[in-house]
Amino acid sequence: MAKPVNMTALNQSASAQFLREPELRKGMELMYFGNSHIVRSIDRGLAAQGLGRAHHRALYFIARRPDMTVSELLSILAITKQSLGRVLNELTERGLLETRPGDRDRRQRLLRLTPEGLTMESTLFEALREKLSLAYARAGQQAVTGFWTVLEGLIPEEERTRIEKLRLLDKRPG
């Protein structure tokens, strides 16, 4: 049996020359492996339901913004209409998603999770929350703020407004 690696011992401070190739490669590798491990942690649960990562992303964002339009979700996920159509149809067939016409424009389709869809999204979120919370607790508030700053820096300026709208949902009263 392999001896566990103490990641804290490997977690050195960033070099004062943090823009050099070795530091950039370390950051890219950590981002890749961190993302890979966190999303793989729920793959088995998704597969048991006959779903994949695209379904999870749709569930997540629809839960964050009930009654979002298909075009809004398409913009957030940055996938083709055909791919999104397949995902939405499968979620609807499984009883996880319901759609209704828009209030002002009846051609729009508004998306909302069913109670079963909300339960599934919540279960998936809790599995991810547990892992992310543990990593946040180990890193501390200042490191988490730095982590967010780096990730925000990777997002093109013109897309940040859309992301900020999701954050505003967390600040609503009630």
**DSSP element (H, E) containing 154:** none
pLDDT at position 119 over 50: yes
Averaged pLDDT for residues 147-170: 84
User: Could you give the CA distance from residue 51 to residue 147 in angstroms, rounded to a whole number?
Assistant: 30
150 occurs within a structural domain: yes
**How far is CA 36 from its chain centroid?**
12
77 located within any domain: yes
State the pTM of this model. 0.83
Return all residues near 137 (Cβ < 8 A) that are at least 6 apart: none
Which CATH number characterizes residue 129's domain? 1.10.10.10
Helices 115-139 and 141-153: crossing angle, nearest 10°? 120
pLDDT tens digits for range 57-101: 999 999 999 999 999 999 889 899 999 999 999 999 999 999 998
Give the pLDDT of residue 107: 84
- Note whether residue 15 is domain-resident: no
* In-domain check, residue 21: no
What amino acid is encoded at 65 in this protein? R
Q: For the segment 27-41, what is each residue's pLDDT rounded down to a tens digit?
A: 999 999 999 999 999
Q: Alpha-carbon distance 17 to 15, whole Å?
A: 5
**What is the average pLDDT across 163-174?**
67
Mean pLDDT (whole number) for 32-55: 93
Residue 31 lies in a domain: no
Q: Name the residue range of residue 65's domain.
A: 41-167
Q: What is the mean pLDDT of the chain?
A: 88
Residue 51, φ and ψ in degrees, nearest 5: -120, 165
User: Is the pLDDT reported for residue 161 higher than 60?
Assistant: yes
Specify whether the CB–CB gap between 100 and 74 falls below 8 A.
no
Q: Is the pLDDT of residue 3 over 50?
A: yes
pLDDT at 160 over 70: yes
CA distances from 30 to 61, 110, 121 (A): 25, 37, 26
Q: What is the pLDDT of residue 9?
A: 46
Give the confidence band of 105 by pLDDT, cuts at 50, 70, 90: confident
Strands of the sheet containing 109-113, edge to edge, are: 68-69, 109-113, 97-101
In a domain, 34, yes or no: no
Question: How many structural domains are present in the chain?
Answer: 1
Would 147 be classed as within a structural domain? yes
**d(C-alpha 39, C-alpha 56), whole Å:** 10
pLDDT the model gives residue 114: 98
Q: Is residue 66 part of a domain?
A: yes
Residue, of 32 and 105, whose pLDDT is higher: 32
